[in-house]
Structure 1
Amino acid sequence: KNFLDRREMIAVNIGGAGMVKASGQSYELQPRDMLYLGLGANEVSFASVNPAEPAKFYLLSAPAHQSHPSQLIRIGDAKLLDLGSQATCNERSIFQFIHAEGVKTCQLVVGMTQLASGSVWNTMPCHVHDRRMEAYLYFDLPEAARVFHFMGEPDETRHLVLRNEEAVLSPGWSIHSGAGTSNYAFIWAMAGDNVDYTDVDPVAMEELR
């Protein structure tokens, strides 16, 4: 009857300020805020605060077996990890919104990575995690810029060429890494057997083909 009768969902705002209504509650999302809606949430609707600067909601959903409270997570409240360096072209800030020590979910794990100016590589050295799939949504790319996203088994990789606000799905056995013609941001989201961000199998550089 309702989309979330047996599912959970996360709405990420990558546009202007927006409003989400769910189960009689209203939530205002500023750019890069996220809203978690638990199993059973109903009467969900989306709107822009200012139609001249429209919100853009990226929706992520997975089956749920338990109801967790709906919760708004501001970009400023996310767990921040600064990683990489200019020397390796991967200086970046990782914002963990949904993780095991934070907002509770059944299987969704979600965050955002922002690459610093002059850095273009994400998730290299790469990894796989056969207990979870992962989706990337690349955004904040200039119109003429592209991201070359690498996927596939480590010894037989392929690439996709992605533009601004395009997404890619990676199964658990696939690497997921990218290099852009400029810096960019991306939303990463996982779903599967656990919500352990650190449960990964690293891939050595010499294994890549």
Structure 2
Amino acid sequence: MLNVETRHAIDPATAATFDTTELREHFHVSNIFVPGEINLIYTHYDRMIVGGATPAEGPLELDHVAECGTASILDRREMTIVKLGGPGKVTADAEYDMVHGDMLYLGMGAGKITFSGEGRFYIISAPAHQTYPSRLIKIAEAANVTLGAAENCNERTIYQFVHPDVMKSCQLVVGMTKLQKGSIWNTMPAHVHDRRMEAYLYIDLDESARVIHLMGEPDETRHLVLKNEEGAISPPWSIHSGAGTSNYAFIWAMAGDNVDYKDVEMVSMETLK
């Protein structure tokens, strides 16, 4: 079963008037991993799609998505698939066996996609202008950088999978950040990048744990309370930062004009409100 929800773009002045229910309606990513279903959110932020596939009792096929306007979803798009939970397989232009934390890049024209096996598959897709080779990337093959310090509660390692230092893509940049035990803060000091949007998915949290995801303009911040395997859609004008009740990991994905990971506008702590 395929379900697709469309999220239209919201400007910062309108977002500043939202209450909790409205914020969650427009920016919260939840209930994408339902057994036997593929659930997609088609956003009007750089036309990124985020979603999940959970095969459960049998394989699930992803092919025609009416919102994309093409016969098959990858006719004019590229995609990254992140494996969560038990081992599984993705079949597209080839067969790819995946385990928890693996990321699979599928280039434009890779064909219909079939998901099978255990666990869940997190899906990220953006429009593409050129075909690049599909590639399965293990965490050992990702570029990585360790930042922060234990005394600031933000000791973390950033793993860059679909990234210019690892491979070529059209506009998708995707990776994973893991916080060490005792660390809870990510992406603070905060930043924005007006040339590209971003999507977060928080993972590896206990059932009772939560992350407070910060969003909004730097001087007009808001927050979302998220549990394991929930996320946030972050418009280009918004900060994207968070603090958890324990350490966690999160998948970050960007699409837009620039694939330069460092193309950001830093926000000083004094600016935040």
Residues 77-126 of structure 1 deviation map (CA, whole Å, 9 limit, x = unaligned): 11111111110000011100011222111100000001000000000001
1:39 paired with 2:39, answer no
TM-score of the aligned structures, taking structure 1 as reference length:
0.96
Q: Given residue 151 of structure 2, which amino acid in structure 1 is its aligned partner?
A: A
CA contact (8 A) 2:80 2:125 kept: yes
Residues 143-179 of structure 1 deviation map (CA, whole Å, 9 limit, x = unaligned): 1110000000000000000011001001111000000
CA contact (8 A) 1:8 1:39 kept: yes
SS in 1 for 2:81: strand
CA contact (8 A) 1:129 1:172 kept: yes
- How many residues in Structure 1 have an aligned counterpart in Structure 2? 203
CA contact (8 A) 2:187 2:242 kept: yes
Q: Given residue 100 of structure 2, which amino acid in structure 1 is its aligned partner?
A: P
Give the counterpart of 2:99 among 22, 26, 30: 30
CA-CA distance at 1:43 after TM superposition: 2.7
Match of 1:61 in 2: 125
* Cα distance in 1 between the residues matched to 2:140 and 2:166: 14
Give the counterpart of 2:225 among 161, 172, 175: 161
CA contact (8 A) 1:47 1:55 kept: no
Match of 2:74 in 1: 4
CA contact (8 A) 2:143 2:165 kept: no
SS in 2 for 1:207: coil
Where does the alignment leave 5 or more consecutive residues of structure 1 unmatched?
49-53
Match of 2:202 in 1: 138
The CA RMSD measured in Å over matched residues stands at: 0.7
Q: Given residue 237 of structure 2, which amino acid in structure 1 is its aligned partner?
A: W
Match of 1:51 in 2: none
Match of 1:100 in 2: 164
Percent of pairs identical after alignment?
A: 64
* Cα distance in 1 between the residues matched to 2:197 and 2:138: 25
Between Structure 1 and Structure 2, which shows a larger proportion of helix residues?
2
Match of 2:84 in 1: 14
SS in 1 for 2:112: coil
Q: Given residue 11 of structure 1, which amino acid in structure 2 is its aligned partner?
A: I
